[in-house]
Structure 1
């Protein structure tokens, strides 16, 4: 099957998903983000891409897109929020994604991202809501929890990544390859990180590592080790 590699970013934030996908050949045709600060970043990063504000006022997506990426609001699903659940005013906006892809020939791929607490909140009500909607639209789906530390970002940030497809098995994408290439040569040729735990003892050392960032940390509070 030929691929246009065209995509749309809904709830785009500052464009993290879109930037990552662009490094693998995907071209963003449209962005949607309501936060003014995030919009300013998107205009800088994607100057030539149409930017829409309110997803509820977006009537349709470009007809030729193959992928929709959506990091929909997490406030109602996060332990740090009010845990109103998937029917909350913010996290419930995920239904706008399903509204926009509901057409005779919807996009081939959907990429959905959110916090891992959604897996257990309300005995998995959010996951049931999302997967039921995907199946009703003719998508097969798979998900996994990924950690930013595994991709070179010095902070603990776990996220649920859900991939759905009308034509392919998404498991082959999410689980086909768990590890990258091993570094060769002398470890001394690479920068190394050193940090200690918030306890009486413990330390970590790793090639190409830097201290992790911990939510709520401030100067003088050591981060827990990433290894």
Structure 2
């Protein structure tokens, strides 16, 4: 059964597809319902666009699960900003949990919703040899919320509140869609920036590198 890899932005899909093609994999264009899909039969994967923001991503993911048959794992993939020292541009973060940091309950304060990454997928990723890959793979929480983190102070506050290694937008939306569908879920994010004032320019500058590294990890993991 295929792994469904859902990325928020078309630019991410284009860069990831180019990197996977350059690695020698065959890409085939198809569709799932109303959404375009890229199939990689050699590694048993499908790639599709989830859209920007948690709600759109959840909607697309649910639609894809309705129309792409027998998916055994959904991976929310894309880029992220690093929240801790020691994680550099090009590194990949495997989300052991996705924490929905912008779910703000004022009437009855409780911890932010957290969604566990699929344990079997995380275990298999830990076994992937990336020592010669030129980037590091980190395992830890990823913060998810519809907010651009573009200041050192905000990044530190988010780190203090969640303990996350990195921050992105859409993960919690994908996790909720998968929870509704009883489908295993995992978030994989490649780092383009340090969640500071330079985040916007660094996203554009480092997107190709981040997607090449993500492609390397996906090919080694799913091609085993």
Q: Give the alignment's TM-score, normalised by structure 2.
A: 0.32
* Structure (1/2) with the larger strand percentage: 2
* Structure (1/2) with the larger helix percentage: 2
Q: Give the alignment's TM-score, normalised by structure 1.
A: 0.32
